[in-house]
Amino acid sequence: MMRFFLIGAILLSIAAAYYIYLPLPSTISEPWKLMFMDAILRGIMHVAQVFESTSTGLKRQSKRGVVYFHGGGWTLGSGKMQTYFLQCRTMAEDLDAVVISIEYRLAPEARFPDQYNDALQASKRILTAEVLAQYSIDPERLAVSGDSAGANLAAAVAQQMALDSSAPIKYKVQALLYPVLQALDFNTPSYQQNGNIPILHRPLMVRFWLEYLGGNPRLVSSLLANNHTALNQGHKIAAAKAKINWTQLLPVAFQKNYKPLFPFQGDPKLLDELPGLLDVRASPLLAEKEALKAVPPTYIMTCEHDVLRDEGQMYARRLIEAGVAVTVDHYEDGFHGCLSFAFGPFRFSVGMRSFKNYIHWLTKNL
């Protein structure tokens, strides 16, 4: 045994001497001391390189990625707000994902299509090999998501990115939380049923649309009466209304005893003042079937006590008819914005429950 130790010590000494020894000029000061110091420095550098290599290897373990657009009627909100910050941080932790919360310009300084363009350009920039590699995001596990007006931007961007043949990297899924998807009918059953329910009253949603589309606030009453989609408004309106026909697209349980409201005579100038009303970039529910077929598998959350309930349900139906896999998560006790109340001091049970199910779907499908 002692002989093995002795042999090992000799071999180690030889290896150390080999590592330390360098042929140096005879005139250099204290060559062995310099060789020893050089060996120490080289040793430190080698250890650092090994550590860096290991760290780089860890960083390259790709993660899921979620591009998130906050709500606020295109006029309010920020990813820096406590609720959105906590939501996105918790999403990152629970999903083991990189969550990128997008800031976009807001009305009244910015009007449609500024917000949409900001969202689209951000997506195009993020969905590049360079950026995804920088943040160690798996290019095949990307989701686009948002709530309310942010879900509107997410849906519009998902449609455009899916149709963009020049974009090699696509979103794998989209997840829309109580999305805003149309501005042609402010008298769907959910608008009639929940017009005075917090936190999104019916006139407020119309005001948000006018802010987004650059319309005069005096038009609120006209839009509430559906004067912009009256029966005398022409073929363009008739074709668009067919895509939001809730008598055909909504489950009977949501239709209840409500009746469609479209006056015979409307204001023909409304469409001239608000051309964005018929723009699919503003109203993703108006997309043609060919565009809908291209979008990725979809999660849509709707709430019973929300004026936007029906457009989320109608979008789900149109996507399903186009052949897209859709999960609809409906909350009978939910209200607009409730998922945001899974965080902060004013927590609601439906907020925590809806957030948990949202994360579960993303975990399973992303």
* Residues carrying an active site annotation: 148, 306, 336
Which of 142, 152, 145, 25 is CA-nearest to residue 84?
145
Could you please report the per-residue DSSP string of 306-320?
-TTHHHHHHHHHHHH
Which of 228, 198, 233, 235 is CA-nearest to residue 213?
228
Residue 335 near residue 305 (C-beta atoms within 8 A): yes
Residue 298 near residue 174 (C-beta atoms within 8 A): yes
Residue 350 near residue 358 (C-beta atoms within 8 A): no
Cα–Cα distance measured from residue 179 to residue 171, given in angstroms and rounded to the nearest whole number: 18
Cα–Cα distance measured from residue 143 to residue 158, given in angstroms and rounded to the nearest whole number: 9
Cα–Cα distance measured from residue 225 to residue 203, given in angstroms and rounded to the nearest whole number: 11
Residue 290 CB partners (closer than 8 Å, separation 6+): none
